[in-house]
Structure 1
Amino acid sequence: MSEPAAAPLELTHSHIDDVSHGHAPLMRVTLPLTQTPVWLATRYDVVKEALGDSRFVRDPAKIPGTQGGGVGAEMLDEAGLPPEYRQYLEILVMVDGPEHTRLRTHVIRAFAPRRIAALRPRIDRLTQDLTAELAAKDSDFDLLHSFTYPLVTNVICEIIGVDEADRPQLSGWIRDYESGEPDRFLPGIGHLAAYISGLLDRRAAEPAEDLASDLLRSNAEAAQEQQLSRQEMIALVFLLINTGIAPSAFFLADGVLALLDHPEELARLRAQPELLPRAVQELLRYVSAVHVGATLYATEDLELGGVLVRKGEGVTAGLLSADRDPGTFDDAGRLDLSREAARGAGHIAYGHGAHRCIGAALANLQTEIVLDHLLLQRDTLALAIERNAVERIGFAGEGTFPLRLPVRF
């Protein structure tokens, strides 16, 4: 067992996107907007082991003798988020064990693969209409803000039950929240929470086939100790809206950019469209929807990848780095749409274990449909700017994503 004593490395957003696997399985680092050092796991086997080990928890407050709320709380403090708003970002994410199961059970039905598959015609129509509208303008457009954001907003709103007339306003509140500007993001959270509360009231009076109605039905049928509070229902819907929009929009933009960067792979996909499902999984491995996972905290002294992690210390999972680990994937830095992962060694872009992304089936379906309409049914999509002019934006502890992506048909 080894115990590296190197001083913590101050990571920037770009470092998070391009972490060296180095020689050590864990690196001692300080994430952006934090002061508490954590272990950064970058190797596939180590990341997967940590994510599946019940001796790690998401909430350090649950570990006796541990002080503070961990690096997540430090980031929220730095962002100026008041305590009363933190439930909207922490529910599901910061709980483990039976409590996590209780919350997840109430929303999992809406994201079951069979139910998501039934959405294909609707998502296909939304994508087709948006693509045709942008192509008809015969001008440059921003793929992120004119295509991927509107599309995924419509899809998640469809699932949750947001009326079509309300979606532009809801999208504006999401943008306010994501701006990070104090005079915008706090009112954005407040408006979203109030809207969700009103939506639950409407669905209580007139149930429909949507997640808001599912939550109310599931809660009514649950044993008393498994029921959700009103505030928990609002927070769950808020989290699903938030995580269903920004990560998906950024991933779709980055996935398209990756294919434009690799014209030989795009040509292969056009020649062999049956590769599309496999191509989606390779893009998830190559660019990932979430670059860095939530920090996990050791409930006891333990060994991880041959390194001693002491009780209360945090381990942050480098998902993108793990998915490019040359020890697991042959020629890991190359995009290969025909890649077949070895059994049990597929990408972990959706995480692993109990906290694996609920929306995985939805993300797979959306990506297939988007790539089909943008790049297979049409063969003229191209960048409208020089490749080195593509700007990226960093999010605390998450990596970098395209700020805008000007393209044209």
Structure 2
Amino acid sequence: MSTTTPSHSPLVDPAELIADPYGAYARLREAGPVHRITGTDGLPAWLVTRYHDVRHALADPRLSLDKGNARPGGYHGLTLPPALDANLLNMDPPDHTRIRRLVSRAFTPRRVALLREPVRKTAGLLLDTIAPHGRADLIASYAAPLPITVICELLGVAPHDRQDFRAWTDALVAPDPAQPDRAKEAVRSMLAFFTQLLATKRAAPADDLLSALIAVRDEEDRLSEDELMSLAFLVLFAGYENTVHLIGNATLALLSHPGQLAELRADPGRLAGAVEELARYDGPVPLAIRRFPTEDVVIGGITVPAGETVLLSLAAAHRDPRRFTDPDRLDLGRDATGHLALGHGIHYCLGAPLARMETEIALAALLERFPGLVLDVPVDEVRRRPSMRARGLLSLPVRF
């Protein structure tokens, strides 16, 4: 098959990919499957936009997550200390396989099913708190505290030790150029927190995931100390961050589509399938974690040289009419299986069963408790996070 190398795409404006991602990605997707772009970090990357190519690339073993395979000087990205950087998002097999196997037992469907009732109870308590007020910011009072409570319970983080993870993750995922030291301070805070947390768990182990991982490290020697701390960081960070955005985006989508919301209220049994469509329609991760080809690869007929940065646009893939009929329309009756919001291949989201369950329960409890739930501001005034890599809300004002 003949291949070409495109010139730098004139169609992409990083600011527009934040302000209007679906419109911007649609133009790119129809102009071509792969584009040479400049990211918000000022560095070049290859952006893949069509569903078939994105799905195939997610599972292509030649596209490495290991930053050691990046071309020298071609990727900067987020700088973390080794104690937080030795995580699954930076690894390929065999290390990825070894570490994923150690932690995957915590996220089996059976284990997740055991968490359903605690999640339902937590959701109810949060709604009890906001119910008397008649209005609320659902991000601050519901979508954020629910997953952080769940993931901290899973890891064994005591309530009094639950720090301001939202501020830390905001600083890392959507850094403010006007405050460049915020991200560095967030990293320092996280490192200090996890160092103390591991010391506490070593001194007083309990029946929780973190204690079990420490035993694997100390007694079985199957984790390095950096891998242990990085794994704890990733489980807490990813288990919180993506689920907050999934719940928030799903709630906004429903409130913005009253006809679809009415149908769901009339038949709550459709909720599990609705979560799949909501994840496709406006998922929490517009771009998959960057990849680096270990050799020259052909994607969508374009040759991408080894070591270059490859960005796979899940947002563009989910609105690709080649895969989903009338993709810009929210249709809770749609068969959305095959969406990529939780990944594909060996890097498929480890916590996917938990994220699905939390979102389903969060929406069910919210809609049952507040039958008159509506937005408290016009939809175009709902504020989103200024990030290409995380699709989430800063706040979601509602009344009921």
Map 1:17-36; keep pairs closer than 5 Å. 17-18=21-22, 19-20=25-26, 21-36=29-44
Shift of 1:374: 1.0
Shift of 1:273: 0.9
Alpha-carbon displacement from aligned partner over 1:127-147 (angstroms, at most 9, x marks no partner): 001012101123x32111122
Shift of 1:205: 3.4
What is aligned with 1:144?
139
C-alpha separation in 2, matches of 1:266 and 1:287: 16
Alpha-carbon displacement from aligned partner over 1:358-409 (angstroms, at most 9, x marks no partner): 11011001101111011234311111111221122222x4154322211112
C-alpha separation in 2, matches of 1:269 and 1:347: 20
Map 1:163-182; keep pairs closer than 5 Å. 163-168=158-163, 180=175, 181-182=179-180
Cα 1:265–1:86 change in 2 (3 A) is: farther
Cα 1:176–1:22 change in 2 (3 A) is: closer
Shift of 1:207: 2.5
Alpha-carbon displacement from aligned partner over 1:51-94 (angstroms, at most 9, x marks no partner): 1111111235237xx323x43x2x33xxxx4xx62652562111
What is aligned with 2:278?
283
Please provide the CA RMSD for this pair: 2.3
Pairing partner for 1:133 from 120, 129, 135: 129
What is aligned with 1:11?
13
Cα 1:60–1:149 change in 2 (3 A) is: closer
Cα 1:388–1:113 change in 2 (3 A) is: same
What is aligned with 2:318?
323
C-alpha separation in 2, matches of 1:7 and 1:170: 38
Pairing partner for 2:330 from 331, 335, 357: 335
Pairing partner for 2:379 from 369, 387, 391: 387
What is aligned with 2:53?
46
Q: For structure 1, which segment, 204-213 or 262-271, has the greater mean C-alpha deviation from structure 2 after superposition?
A: 204-213
C-alpha separation in 1, matches of 2:391 and 2:15: 6
Shift of 1:104: 1.7
Cα 1:52–1:170 change in 2 (3 A) is: closer
What is aligned with 2:197?
199
Q: For structure 1, which segment, 124-133 or 188-197, has the greater mean C-alpha deviation from structure 2 after superposition?
A: 188-197
Cα 1:191–1:321 change in 2 (3 A) is: same
Kept in 1, the 8 Å contact 2:35–2:47? The answer is: yes
2:116 maps to amino acid: R
Pairing partner for 2:341 from 345, 349, 360: 349
Q: Would you say 1:304 and 2:299 are equivalent positions?
A: yes
Shift of 1:13: 4.5
Shift of 1:168: 4.8
2:226 maps to amino acid: Q
Alpha-carbon displacement from aligned partner over 1:147-193 (angstroms, at most 9, x marks no partner): 21111111111111100222255666556666744454433333332
C-alpha separation in 1, matches of 2:153 and 2:231: 16
SS of the equivalent of 1:28 reads strand
Cα 1:230–1:90 change in 2 (3 A) is: closer
SS of the equivalent of 2:395 reads coil
What is aligned with 2:350?
358
Cα 1:11–1:210 change in 2 (3 A) is: farther
SS of the equivalent of 1:401 reads coil
Kept in 2, the 8 Å contact 1:13–1:398? The answer is: no
Cα 1:110–1:270 change in 2 (3 A) is: same
SS of the equivalent of 1:334 reads coil
C-alpha separation in 1, matches of 2:165 and 2:299: 43
C-alpha separation in 1, matches of 2:368 and 2:338: 25
C-alpha separation in 2, matches of 1:176 and 1:400: 15
Cα 1:183–1:296 change in 2 (3 A) is: closer
What is aligned with 1:59?
66
Shift of 1:203: 2.5
Cα 1:60–1:164 change in 2 (3 A) is: closer
SS of the equivalent of 2:288 reads strand
2:185 maps to amino acid: P
Shift of 1:231: 2.4
Q: Would you say 1:218 and 2:247 are equivalent positions?
A: no
C-alpha separation in 2, matches of 1:259 and 1:389: 16
Q: Would you say 1:106 and 2:132 are equivalent positions?
A: no
SS of the equivalent of 1:308 reads strand
SS of the equivalent of 2:150 reads helix
Q: Under a length normalisation based on structure 2, what TM-score does the superposition of the two structures give?
A: 0.90
What is aligned with 1:402?
393
Cα 1:298–1:176 change in 2 (3 A) is: closer
C-alpha separation in 1, matches of 2:231 and 2:282: 27
What is aligned with 2:87?
91
C-alpha separation in 2, matches of 1:34 and 1:273: 46
SS of the equivalent of 1:97 reads coil
Alpha-carbon displacement from aligned partner over 1:285-323 (angstroms, at most 9, x marks no partner): 111121101122222222222222222233211011111
Q: Percent identity?
A: 37
Alpha-carbon displacement from aligned partner over 1:222-260 (angstroms, at most 9, x marks no partner): 4x5xx2122221121112221122222122111100001
SS of the equivalent of 1:368 reads helix
Report the count of equivalent residues: 389
Q: Under a length normalisation based on structure 1, what TM-score does the superposition of the two structures give?
A: 0.88
SS of the equivalent of 1:393 reads coil
Cα 1:189–1:346 change in 2 (3 A) is: same
